[in-house]
Structure 1
């Protein structure tokens, strides 16, 4: 059972780093600093970066670390208020109207007040995030905001400015306590400045080799040390090749796990060719690496590891 007993927020940047590390999220001091400030100032945190670098994972870690529910709004093209904020339970409302008419009730004002009450309100992620009781404010993840359109961005301004939403039939609903808001974007398009101004910002980059190696050791503990170091060195080099989609940390972990499941002790050209689907997600990239460039990268990795001992 998940522990949802709310815990205190970190009191310093060092405590923030320790909190993240305790949940196997290895962050640099700059990320820990902006996260600490976002929590302290009760401001949304806007995280930008390539897919697979760990932006979404930050929200998950905060939910676990603070014992707060995680509410996720997965953005997509065409996302509207009914899907993101609220909608009315129209079938139940129609049934109530028919039952009232059958019972001879004709007071339209009373009927309207009844069917547009909380009883028939379906709360979507935004309204759920604003409806928590004080001391139990959730972590609210607005994931991949760049997939939505500018109209939805504009709608978010009221929510991020005042943590409130207006429902015409009910009035304005304000959060008793602001949720911890994490917004992520893969930068497929620019987000409007008006929304960014309401947030603290951080670019989440690919980790350095030493940090990625430690991530593998934590997330794929069955992977032996030699293979782990080869995997990290290989992936780091792949990211310099200008692939259509560079492998993220999530793919590095998947590849390490896959190779461990296959009982591999070290990288070789055949193993790389057979398992690239765990690391790369576009056929053009896979064909390029299988076509000889992958063997060249592996040779460079082994030569560098031999030279450094």
Structure 2
């Protein structure tokens, strides 16, 4: 795993894999790793929160383990569960063998077998803990990147569950004991801020608010994703996107939408953002019927 001497080194490494991080984000990312704290990323959709976790995994040369949050998320989805289908198959196999040999089943032994590691389903958090215990070729902990995405979609109960795990980076499986890692994974929490997270959870994190990048940075991002596009087209797309963001939209476009937009233009062989080009590709940018119905194509192009 790379040994960074500071945030500038990390910013350069992120740039090398195509992620443009400003000084503030690079510093927050560096400190999260150095202090063994999760990095809580909040901001509007499409501004690069999830992409940061993917970029960090590339930079560190390690795996990305993703937990997509949703309503009703609980321990069986986040920590571990038992493979019931495999357990049932094992029971039937043991029963058939016992019947064939006219032997009596040892219920205690069978229960121990059913709740052993081969039957354990490792969910993302447990996967990350176990992976962090493993060493790479340099005899250093592998430290995967654990992305807990859109945590605001889960309920307050999940905040409490996560808080317990973050306190000592261990998961207790009653039938097996406690699984612990002394070196936690690199943790990225993302939130679109549809609800407030628990204060105790926030206190355990390094925090960064993602705002929309400035025009110059956004153009650089587009250049990375569609290098064959012209600088004039990239600038026109960013200006048009910023005009959309200045309007009262239900779902204003983020950087991910501008990337989709210039990719759509490239796929159609369009080199100039005129009114016809806007009409044919706007569905890559606006994803709400009301936003589309109130759109004036000529208001987005340079006059």
Q: What TM-score, normalized to structure 2?
A: 0.92
Shift of 1:115: 1.4
Query: C-alpha deviations, 1:129-154, integer Å up to 9, x for none?
Result: 11111411211000011111111121
Shift of 1:105: 4.1
Q: Is contact 1:223-1:260 (8 Å) kept?
A: yes
Shift of 1:224: 1.3
Name the structure 2 match of 1:47: 41
Shift of 1:176: 4.4
Distance across 1 between alignment mates of 2:186 and 2:252: 30
Distance across 1 between alignment mates of 2:158 and 2:283: 35
Matched, 1:14 2:8: yes
Distance across 1 between alignment mates of 2:221 and 2:90: 55
Matched, 1:97 2:91: yes
Distance across 2 between alignment mates of 1:266 and 1:28: 29
Q: Work out which of the residue numbers 240, 263, 270 in structure 2 matches 1:264.
A: 270
Distance across 2 between alignment mates of 1:9 and 1:247: 36
Query: C-alpha deviations, 1:243-273, integer Å up to 9, x for none?
Result: 1111011110110111122222211112211
| Residues 19-34 of structure 1: pairs in structure 2 closer than 5 A | 19-34=13-28
Name the structure 1 match of 2:114: 115
Distance across 1 between alignment mates of 2:126 and 2:213: 35
Q: Work out which of the residue numbers 220, 243, 251 in structure 2 matches 1:245.
A: 251
Shift of 1:177: 2.2
Name the structure 1 match of 2:280: 274
Rate the CA distance shift 1:119–1:176 in 2: closer, same or farther, 3 A.
farther
Distance across 2 between alignment mates of 1:44 and 1:224: 38
Q: Is contact 1:145-1:184 (8 Å) kept?
A: yes
Distance across 1 between alignment mates of 2:294 and 2:274: 17
Name the structure 1 match of 2:53: 59
Q: Work out which of the residue numbers 291, 298, 302 in structure 2 matches 1:295.
A: 298
Query: C-alpha deviations, 1:141-192, integer Å up to 9, x for none?
Result: 0001111111112111121111111112112111242100000011111111
Distance across 2 between alignment mates of 1:91 and 1:296: 58
Q: Mean alpha-carbon deviation: is it higher for 262-271 or for 11-20?
A: 262-271
Query: C-alpha deviations, 1:254-302, integer Å up to 9, x for none?
Result: 101111222222111122112110111111111111xx3x31342xxx3
Distance across 2 between alignment mates of 1:91 and 1:224: 55
Structure 1 residue runs of 4 or more that deviate by more than 4 Å after TM superposition: none
Structure 1, unpaired ranges of 5+: 1-6, 304-309
Distance across 2 between alignment mates of 1:174 and 1:61: 26
Matched, 1:165 2:171: yes
Q: Secondary structure at the match of 2:294?
A: helix
Q: Is contact 1:71-1:139 (8 Å) kept?
A: yes
Name the structure 2 match of 1:224: 230
Shift of 1:101: 4.1
Name the structure 1 match of 2:124: 125
| Residues 146-157 of structure 1: pairs in structure 2 closer than 5 A | 146-157=152-163
Name the structure 2 match of 1:234: 240
Q: Secondary structure at the match of 1:165?
A: strand
Rate the CA distance shift 1:263–1:100 in 2: closer, same or farther, 3 A.
closer
Distance across 2 between alignment mates of 1:273 and 1:96: 59
